[in-house]
Amino acid sequence: MLLINANTTNAYFNLAMEEYFLKNAKEDIFLLWRNENAIIVGKNQNTLNEINYDYVKENNIKVVRRQSGGGAVFHDLGNINFTFISCNNNHFSDFKRFTLPIIDALKHLNIHAEFSGRNDLLINNQKFSGNAQYNYQDKVMHHGTLLFSSQINNLSNALKVKPSKFEGKGIKSVKSRVTNISDHLDKKMSVLEFKNYLIDFINKKDKSSHYYDLSKHDIDEINKLVDKKYSTWEWNFGHSPKYSLYNELKYTGGNIELSLNVFNGIIKDIKFFGDFFGKEDVSFIENKLKNIHHSEEDLREALNYIDINDYFLNCSKDDLICGIMGSK
């Protein structure tokens, strides 16, 4: 088994790295990695429905879709991610098999952890690890989070959304009580010390394992995946299932209600209602916004040379765009 203790903390690169090794590795892999602040959404989720859009934007948090299903999770440098890639897909859905080494490693640190539900690891009935799997041809990839010293408040704020604005078929995340591993250690340890301890523990348990460093070819191919897929709006937002959004925007000039339908990330229909004033008919704005990406960048481009006050008196372009994105 190849052991990879990755140093990069770029979420786009790390998610691309998983896919690259899943599709190209000829032997089993154990991979450890960390991300700077990022939200990782499940393959089948509506991204905008999972994130606190204002908080994510203000704090420059990356949003990245992964290959596996399940719910959205917040990553920071206090969280360690582990990935097992097995060349035998008979292990798909066998979550316990891949989490047992983590439980054993914690046991040697005098921490009692247990597997719970369909994909969680708990300490004292509090979640510190969520897990997911993805099948590719004859292989299975199992990956999970390990909250070691994460900022729990940031986790909560980044994933907290206003209720019931969106309707659609995306899989919703389930919020749980969480804890950090570091809070349960008898002896203090840094997140990097724990990361090194964990991969060393796996190395000693598997006599066939050996360490592997990414080659220049590996890095070049992973970066191609970053550019083509993992850093793109199309994958991270546009891949969301069909959904509808209703929002209400209150501002100094009145009240705007808006509803829109989105398919494959494209606004197919949008309507504005409310007690606002405007000298021009809002149907012009509605037509301008049809068939564009439901993204802030494309909304700004579509409305670039339009005086919003002509249609929504005393409403700023920023406020209107935020409302269409589901915030405010």
pLDDT digit string (tens) for 55-79? Answer: 998 999 999 999 998 888 999 999 9
Q: At residue 62, what are phi and psi to the nearest 5 degrees?
A: -70, 145
C-alpha 50/C-alpha 72 separation (Å) is 7
Say if CB 11 and CB 40 are below 8 A apart. yes
Contact criterion met (CB below 8 Å) for 226 and 288: no
Structural domains of the chain, ranges and CATH numbers in brackets: 2-238 (3.30.930.10), 243-324 (3.30.390.50)
Question: Predicted confidence band at 83 (pLDDT cuts at 50, 70, 90)?
Answer: very high
User: What is residue 241's predicted lDDT score, i.e. its pLDDT?
Assistant: 78
Q: What is the pLDDT of residues 31-59, one digit of tens each?
A: 999 999 999 999 888 888 888 888 998 99
What is the rounded distance in angstroms from the CA atom of residue 34 to the CA atom of residue 74?
11
Stretch among 11-25, 96-110, 120-134, 232-246 having the lowest mean pLDDT: 232-246
Enumerate long-range contacts of 194-198, CB under 8 Å, 24 or more apart.
194/80, 194/148, 195/5, 195/32, 195/34, 195/80, 196/5, 197/105, 197/109, 198/32, 198/80, 198/82, 198/102, 198/105, 198/146
Count of CA atoms in the C-beta half-sphere (13 A) of 200 = 7
Tell me the per-residue pLDDT of 139-196, one tens digit each, with 9 for 90 and over: 999 999 999 999 988 888 888 655 545 566 665 655 568 899 999 999 999 999 999 9
Instruction: Give the pLDDT confidence score for residue 91 in this predicted structure.
Output: 62
